[in-house]
């Protein structure tokens, strides 16, 4: 009989609005199940970043800068992981939901733990929800951790929320 517990968990994070709640839950599940964590961030290159033009750098230099900054955020997050959890970081460039699905397939992950950032109005109409698109295309189960109004950056309840 095969082990039904996850051997590899994918935790995609947005380093620009890093929410620790999904990260903490994902690494806790990994610890309980002796699973490896693939900690992923995707540099969205569909549109130029607004601050790209303030850098006065060629595009590739700018993306190298963003990639280096993303790696630093992931390294900081890893310090909060329980001892003994195996974590590998991946920084990729592309359309976030497509890269998440591709990494999940290539890494043969058994579970994706991600945050749902609420989008509404024009942003949702144009871009949709990354979590929603991953839900429809992922090769494995997904645990979506809601983060919305009334929560702080780590997804914890705030006063009045």
Percent of the chain with pLDDT over 70: 71
HEC profile of the chain: CCCCCCCEEEEECCHHHCCHHHHHHHHHHHHHHCCEEEEEEEEECCCCCHHHHHCCCCHHHHHHHHHHHHHHHHHHHHCCCCCCCEEEEEEEEECHHHHHHHHHHHHCCCEEEEEEECCCHHHHHHHCCHHHHHHHHCCCCEEEEEECCCECCCCCECCCC
User: What integer best gives the mean pLDDT of the chain?
Assistant: 79
Specify whether the backbone of 58 is left (phi greater than 0), alpha (psi in -120 to 50) or beta.
beta
Q: Give the residue among 107, 104, 106 at the shortest CA–CA distance from 143.
A: 104
HSE (CB half, 13 Å, CA atoms) of 147?
23
Residue 131 has what pLDDT?
A: 86
Q: Give the residue among 73, 98, 61 at the shortest CA–CA distance from 18.
A: 73
pLDDT one-digit tens code per residue, 99-132: 999 999 999 999 999 988 655 555 444 445 888 8
Residue 160 has what pLDDT?
A: 41
CATH superfamily of 8-147: HUPs (3.40.50.620)
| Residue spans of the chain under pLDDT 50 | 1, 123-127, 150-155, 157-161
pTM for the model: 0.78
Residue 1 has what pLDDT?
A: 46
Q: How far apart are CA 130 and CA 13, in angstroms?
A: 11
Residue 63 has what pLDDT?
A: 79
Residue 14 has what pLDDT?
A: 84
Residue 88 has what pLDDT?
A: 94
| Domain ranges for the chain | 8-147
């Amino acid at each position: 009989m095969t082990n039904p517990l996850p051997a590899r968990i994918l935790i995609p994070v947005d380093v620009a609005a890093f929410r620790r709640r999904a990260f903490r839950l994902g690494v806790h599940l990994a610890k309980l199940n002796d699973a490896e964590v693939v900690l992923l961030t995707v540099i969205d290159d569909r549109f130029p970043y607004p601050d790209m033009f303030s850098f006065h750098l060629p595009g590739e230099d700018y993306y190298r800068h963003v990639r280096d900054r993303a790696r630093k955020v992931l390294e900081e997050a890893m310090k909060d992981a329980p001892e003994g959890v195996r974590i590998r970081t991946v920084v990729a460039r592309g359309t976030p939901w497509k890269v998440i699905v591709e990494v999940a397939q290539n890494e043969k992950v058994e579970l994706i733990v991600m945050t749902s950032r609420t989008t509404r109005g024009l942003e949702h109409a144009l871009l949709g929800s990354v979590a929603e698109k991953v839900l429809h295309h992922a090769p494995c189960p997904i645990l979506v951790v809601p983060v919305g109004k009334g929560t702080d950056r780590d997804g914890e309840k705030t006063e009045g929320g």
